[in-house]
Structure 1
Amino acid sequence: MSGVNILNGRLVLPGQAEPQSGHIHIIGERIAEVGRAEPIAETIDAENLVVAPGIIDLGVFATDKPAFRFGGITRAALMPDQSPVHDDPATIRFAARKGKPDFWVHPLAAATKDLDGKHMAEIALMKQAGALGVATGRRWIDDSGLMLRLMQYCAMLDMPLFVHAEDAGLAGKAVATNSTNATILGLPSAAPIAEELAIQRDLLLAAESGAHLHIRQVTTKRGLDLVRLAKQRGARITCGITPAHLFLSDTALIGFRTFARLSPPLRGETDRLAGIAAVADGTIDVIASGHDPRGPEDKRLPFADAAPGMAGAETLLALTLNLVRDGVISMGKLFELLSGNPAKILNLNAGRIAPGHEADLIFIDPDTPWQVDSEKMAALAGNTPFDKLPVQGRVLKTMKGGQIL
């Protein structure tokens, strides 16, 4: 008599578009069997609930356990933009232990020392310390020679390289995309080509080096077209997007709402719709929260002076469920984007409901209504551009490593 049975759930299974009725048997920290129950000491009744793999949030800027718990996130890849920067083995080891046992942080190693974009960090040592990937942080590395050497090193170590795609020479101090809205508001703006040029260069270098390139956010139509073409040619590339760029356009800047000050900036409606199309056709591999909680000292400023970023962990699931309701993707495809593909990128034995995988599960009522409220969020700060938006879908229970939290 050992383990746990999850009974009567609607299971989000690999290769299945829609949830399937069934049971899960768990022994220890892993899924032992899917499809039937065994005589055991404990049962969990999941009737009328969707049981899905825990969300793996690919590229957050803060370890924010209450927000992650609310949003059904059981693991997160932590960006190196911390204080101090995660550019040495000691900071990597500390970050990897930070959330255990009920939440796992997977730190990404800084590509360059102090994220200065000039001097390569000790990536091999950070891999030994537990880093599962390398990241350039919030900035693009403009030195193409350095970037090629970095990619060659990542390819040799078999580590994905997470990049921010925005040519700083073109973007300058822009806080918005060139548009009528930016002109009316008088905001410094840049053309979308700042993203597209950065993507094109990095695609060429990735092809030259053989590195696994992950573009953390692709937010423009032409940028997505470049990625789509590169994938058709067999490039080793993955990319992501956030709900903000799927559901908001630059009209959200009207009124100088600094919660909508993001990096990359919000785009026009054509780019937003292109993002949804790219989710539907598989060009986009990951939807991540971009979780970056910012307090009043960073946001209660003139728009051009406010820090970019949004608190996205708590709203990630509820917002992306709209893609399922609207018929853009299936529930199975949604959890590929939220869990399965992030696990593949980080080479984790998680993100799927399958025998032998970690028993990281969330129990969802996809129809529960609630309202986003920046003043009541569990996050370190409530800087969400979706404040006061009515949404549907709540995580009612979370299991991490076979244990209900």
Structure 2
Amino acid sequence: MKLSILGARVIDPSSGLDQTTDLHLEAGKIVAIGAAPNGFNAVTTIDAKGLVAAPGLVDLSVALREPGYSRKGSIASETRAAAAGGVTSLCCPPRTKPVLDTSAVAELILDRAREAGNSKVFPIGALSKGLEGEQLAELIALRDAGCVAFGNGLEGFRSTRTLCRALEYAATFDLTVIFHSQDRDLAEGGLAHEGATASFLGLPGIPESAETVALARDLLLVEQSGVRAHFSQLTSARGVELIAQAQARGLPVTADVALYQLILTDEALIDFSSLYHVQPPLRSRADRDALREAVKSGVVQAISSHHQPHERDAKLAPFGATEPGISSVELLLPLALTLVQDGLLELPTLLARLSAGPAAALRLPAGKLVEGGPADLVLFDPASSTVAGERWLSKGENCPFLGHSLPGAVRYTLVDGHISYQG
């Protein structure tokens, strides 16, 4: 189908393009930016005056909950929610049931994602069998089945020696490993950031050192093995400082932060609301400010939703007995635009952290608007607002932002030139 988008402010952070112009799409590709090619007659036209056209957002962590956790979400429901948030490409973590440690599970996820057609899915394979941290998973078979990187989540490895061998093996085949750096012993039993709020509420704390001790070890192993590494869900000022130092030494490391960590602090727990129960925990205001600065400077090159939908019962128990996680992917763009509204980031910088940055971190074929490239893009109205929850698509309603009025509204999300969401 031939489609023309007319009069949008087109922002492509990867090329520095920022101007009012037209886009012309055909056969799933961008065939022209600016004037239409000779003989091009659009079947469909979108009047985009007043709208911003940007690369479709790339989210590095969206739990789809399928297979195995259908009460929490499905590939169809969560990719639909992602499209509503402007996301055209997403990575799903390996914590499924069965665990994403075989090519059969990877192929099932990819087949169902293609059937749904809402957004492109790039699976993250398990680094160890069963995520148990003892035996290496079949990484090459998983890569050949479509996995773009490998990680073990917060579970970690039982021994540093085994982890080191896994990294050396991954480095041999130029595979990317994703770290969630948290020391299991220091974090064990903790529910909140170890600080004044946790002490006041009587909640067991997780110290900042749970992140930094593990992060320092992981960075040393990355340096020794030479593996490409991505550090996910950073939460602390000291943590981003360690990443900055590693990048300055030339280590091939990238990092992301959960969007809610850039907005919330541990002070949100004051009423014991389980909607703010996340792992790793919300940290102090000083940590949040340092994360924001790291995103602004590019030390952290990706902002992700770290979307974790849950059924209603999962958040109804007392705080410590509830399951951690926030359902937020369909608010990714409006929530992120609060950072522009508050003067923390310029719009092109924000869009870079939501598209080109994450795509480059995991070497994904996404995150840019170029002639001949895939027609994956989002059109949004920066002058409108979104009332969170007014039109909710995720199965998980565990979102503390429901009812909030957020800046910007996604009008269209296009995947390979086809409209997957229209708001």
What range describes the TM-score normalised by the shorter chain of this pair? Answer: over 0.9
Residue 231 of structure 2: which of 215, 220, 241 is its match? Answer: 215
Q: Secondary structure at the match of 1:398?
A: strand
Q: Secondary structure at the match of 2:271?
A: coil
Contact 1:59 1:76 in 2 (8 A): yes
Structure-2 separation of matches of 1:118 and 1:207: 22
Q: Which residue of 1 aligns with 2:52?
A: 50
Give matches, 1:325-336, under 5 Å.
325-336=341-352
Q: Which residue of 2 aligns with 1:76?
A: 90
Structure-2 separation of matches of 1:67 and 1:382: 11
Q: Which residue of 2 aligns with 1:98?
A: 112
Contact 1:17 1:333 in 2 (8 A): no
Q: Which amino acid aligns with 2:350?
A: L
Q: Which residue of 1 aligns with 2:245?
A: 229
- Report the alpha carbon displacement of residue 342 of structure 1 after superposing the two structures with TM: 2.0
Q: Which residue of 2 aligns with 1:259?
A: 275
- Report the alpha carbon displacement of residue 25 of structure 1 after superposing the two structures with TM: 2.1
Residue 391 of structure 1: which of 406, 415, 418 is its match? Answer: 406
Contact 1:243 1:287 in 2 (8 A): yes
Give matches, 1:298-377, under 5 Å.
298-373=314-389, 377=392
Contact 1:361 1:399 in 2 (8 A): yes
- Report the alpha carbon displacement of residue 138 of structure 1 after superposing the two structures with TM: 3.4
Total equivalences in the alignment: 403
Residue 184 of structure 1: which of 185, 200, 207 is its match? Answer: 200
Q: Which amino acid aligns with 2:56?
A: G
Q: Which runs of 4+ in 1 moved over 3 A?
A: 14-19
Residue 169 of structure 1: which of 185, 188, 213 is its match? Answer: 185
Contact 2:178 2:232 in 1 (8 A): yes
Q: Secondary structure at the match of 1:109?
A: strand
Report the CA distance shift for 1:18/1:303 in structure 2 as closer, same or farther (over 3 A): farther
- Report the alpha carbon displacement of residue 295 of structure 1 after superposing the two structures with TM: 1.4
Report the CA distance shift for 1:69/1:316 in structure 2 as closer, same or farther (over 3 A): same
CA deviations on 1:6-61 (whole Å, 9 max, x unpaired) are 21111012356684111122221111222222332333221111011111110111
Indicate the larger mover: 52-61 or 151-160: 151-160
Q: Which amino acid aligns with 1:395?
A: V
CA deviations on 1:80-132 (whole Å, 9 max, x unpaired) are 00111100110011111222134221111101111111111111111111111
Q: Secondary structure at the match of 1:90?
A: helix
Q: Which amino acid aligns with 1:40?
A: N
Q: Which amino acid aligns with 1:98?
A: R
Contact 1:18 1:330 in 2 (8 A): no
Q: Secondary structure at the match of 1:314?
A: helix
Q: TM-score scaled by structure 1?
A: 0.95
CA deviations on 1:355-402 (whole Å, 9 max, x unpaired) are 2221011110122123324x8522111111223322111111111101
Structure-2 separation of matches of 1:14 and 1:181: 39
Give matches, 1:268-279, under 5 Å.
268-279=284-295
Percent of residue pairs identical: 33
- Report the alpha carbon displacement of residue 346 of structure 1 after superposing the two structures with TM: 3.0
Q: Which residue of 2 aligns with 1:67?
A: 81
Structure-2 separation of matches of 1:157 and 1:190: 35
Indicate the larger mover: 274-283 or 332-341: 332-341
Q: Secondary structure at the match of 1:388?
A: coil
- Report the alpha carbon displacement of residue 329 of structure 1 after superposing the two structures with TM: 2.3
- Report the alpha carbon displacement of residue 334 of structure 1 after superposing the two structures with TM: 1.5
The answer for unaligned runs of 5 or more in structure 2 is: 65-74
CA deviations on 1:50-84 (whole Å, 9 max, x unpaired) are 01111111011113123112111112101000111
Contact 2:94 2:126 in 1 (8 A): yes
Q: Secondary structure at the match of 1:271?
A: helix
Q: TM-score scaled by structure 2?
A: 0.91
Q: C-alpha root-mean-square deviation of aligned residues, in Å?
A: 1.6
Indicate the larger mover: 126-135 or 153-162: 153-162
Q: Secondary structure at the match of 1:141?
A: coil
Q: Secondary structure at the match of 1:165?
A: coil
Contact 2:171 2:226 in 1 (8 A): yes
Contact 2:2 2:25 in 1 (8 A): yes
Structure-1 separation of matches of 2:346 and 2:306: 22
